[in-house]
Amino acid sequence: MTTRTDDSASPLIESRDDLLSVFAGGEKPPERWRIGTEHEKFVYRLDDHRAPSWDEPGGIRDLLLGLTEFGWEPVLENGKVIALEGEDGNVSLEPAGQFELSGAPLENLHQSCAESGRHLQQCKAVGDRLGLGFLGLGMWPDKTRAELPVMPKGRYKIMLNYMPKVGSLGLDMMLRTCTIQVNLDYSSEADMVRKFRVGLALQPVATALFANSPFTEGRPNGYKSFRSHIWEDTDPDRTGMLPFVFEDGFGYERYCDYALNVPMYFVYRDGQYIDVAGERFQDFIDGKLPQLPGEKPTITDWNDHLSTAFPEVRLKSFLEMRGADGGRWSRICALPALWVGLLYDSQALDDAWELVKHWRIAERETLRHDVPKLALEAVTPDGETMREFAGRVLDIAAGGLTRRARLNNAGDNEGGFLDPLRDVVATGMTPADRLLHKYEHEWGGDVSHIYEEFSF
């Protein structure tokens, strides 16, 4: 989740145009489109697999401070280091200490994958000294909520209090899950609309290909991506497939209306998070927020608020693809490859839209509901298995990457980053399927072996 790293003054919101300017301000010509990869991983003690707290010796604080030897600069909240910023973006903490890199905006996938590799090497170098390991999965395989620490970030206290009021699995989302995401640009409002629609309709493909959360508290949970299922019962006001995105006339105005109707969590003032959970941002605009009577929001407040909506695709000044479970390094590289191939080439974008433009709202919702449990065995509205359909989507993405022709020093284009996903389709085995096979055979029902075999 977003970590505030800039406390500089921000203009007051004086009109609706100011709200819309955040979206319009993201427009860039294709030569300036960039790739921002985000990935989270679980941190654990090597000796007993326990999740470390922030302040214990050799815990999360010491991990953050250890990374400063690589040039990262600490970000403080109430005098406590809760994030880092540097040339490779930002390092931040999820609520239970999940460690996240929000990468810098980069020109190609070769750079993005190298960035992820640098970060993981740095984490391992510091982690080895502290006795810490890192696990790439979509959900803690063995931890209860009660076994997990909470990081000292003000916004998390507010969210942890609010989540049980609006869904039964929101605390699991905060404390027990990890994801990979990619942030991508658009050139105009019309281009944003096309990319949003394709990204949203095809998000179940990413969920299936990256399914990697089949265990809860040491046992199979009946899902391939329990992380994705969790979002179905987290908070209906701020999650889901956003049917209005596919309606005629969708654009910045309609997404603005949606965001205004998402209940607020907090307002950040003078280094403190003020609890305004459940309040309306429109009341804030009107100076009628009960907790801050007469005060009006800034553009930074609006950006903060936009970061508290969690649909499968999210619009800020860029588009975020949000449907994938956490995973190992090759998958951190594969997720942006999938979406860059589909959305950054006009022919690929047209071809992808042809696949899904006739799907009805109810059919998209059904697929979104089925995929967390069935993954590649789910059936699309056209009667194909997800395995068959994902293969066609990968072909389109590969074509897009070929036409982009971003080559590394060896002359290879970006298409090789799709190979882990090609393997999923060829074998019919998602990461979750492989874990379940290990659990049922080699591991003899003991999920603790996952730390030995699937850590970074």
**Nearest CA-CA partner of 183 in 317, 300, 308:** 317
Q: What is the mean pLDDT of residues 38-43?
A: 98
Is residue 167 a part of any domain in this protein? yes
Domain containing residue 26: CATH number: 3.30.590.20
Q: What is the mean pLDDT of residues 428-446?
A: 98
In percent, the amount of the chain with pLDDT more than 90 equals 98
Number of domains into which the chain is organized: 1
Q: What is the mean pLDDT of residues 67-86?
A: 98
* pLDDT tens per residue, range 18-33: 999 999 999 999 999 9
Distance CA 151, CA 157 (A): 9
Is residue 7 a part of any domain in this protein? no
Distance CA 380, CA 203 (A): 12
For residue 118, the Cα-to-chain-centroid distance in whole angstroms is 20
Is residue 8 a part of any domain in this protein? no
* Tokens matching residue 409: 């020093």
Q: What pLDDT, on the 0 to 100 scale, is given for residue 353? A: 98
Where do the H-state alpha helices sit in 31-91? 60-67
Contact indicator for 381, 298 with CB cutoff of 8 Å? no
* pLDDT tens per residue, range 190-244: 999 999 999 999 999 999 999 999 999 999 999 999 999 999 999 999 999 999 9
Is residue 9 a part of any domain in this protein? no
Contact indicator for 262, 305 with CB cutoff of 8 Å? yes
Q: What pLDDT, on the 0 to 100 scale, is given for residue 9? A: 83
Is residue 10 a part of any domain in this protein? no
User: How does residue 369 score in pLDDT terms, banded at 50, 70 and 90?
Assistant: very high
Is residue 123 a part of any domain in this protein? yes
Q: What pLDDT, on the 0 to 100 scale, is given for residue 150? A: 98
Contact indicator for 430, 109 with CB cutoff of 8 Å? no
* pLDDT tens per residue, range 273-326: 999 999 999 999 999 999 999 999 999 999 999 999 999 999 999 999 999 999
Global pTM reads 0.97
Q: What pLDDT, on the 0 to 100 scale, is given for residue 283? A: 97
Supply the range of the domain harboring residue 123.
Answer: 16-453
User: How does residue 51 score in pLDDT terms, banded at 50, 70 and 90?
Assistant: very high
Is residue 310 a part of any domain in this protein? yes
Lowest-confidence pick of 6-10, 242-246, 341-345, 428-432: 6-10
Distance CA 275, CA 165 (A): 15
Enumerate the β-bridge partners of residue 139: 177
Task: Report DSSP state, residue 268.
Answer: E
User: How does residue 6 score in pLDDT terms, banded at 50, 70 and 90?
Assistant: low
In percent, the amount of the chain with pLDDT more than 70 equals 98
Question: Regarding predicted confidence, which is higher, 1 or 268?
Answer: 268
Is residue 300 a part of any domain in this protein? yes
pLDDT at 1 over 70: no
